[in-house]
Amino acid sequence: MIHDVAITLALVGYGSILFGWQMDSMYLTALLTVIGFSVQDKIVVFDRVRENSNIYRKLPFLTLVNHSIVQTLQRFKLTPN
């Protein structure tokens, strides 16, 4: 979550230097949205790890986490219309 916020702050910092952008209430709203999505993604992955730990008891932990992340990414896969 820290790197998500740091990247957003850095981009706006460079934008303020190069383009004269100012931080206002819309910026704060966007920053809080980034934090919210970051927290929500972590909750979804942790929940998937918890569910898979009951199903795949024999897998090593790192393999279980990798499998859970792949399942989460497949869940949010964008399909063309």
Q: What is the pTM of this model?
A: 0.65
pLDDT digits (tens, 9 = 90+) for 37-53: 888 888 988 999 999 99
Residue 80's pLDDT is 58
**74 vs 58, 68, 70, CA distance in Å?**
23, 10, 6
Half-sphere exposure of 77 (CA within 13 A, CB side): 9
Amino acid at 6: A
pLDDT digits (tens, 9 = 90+) for 50-80: 999 999 999 999 999 999 999 888 776 665 5
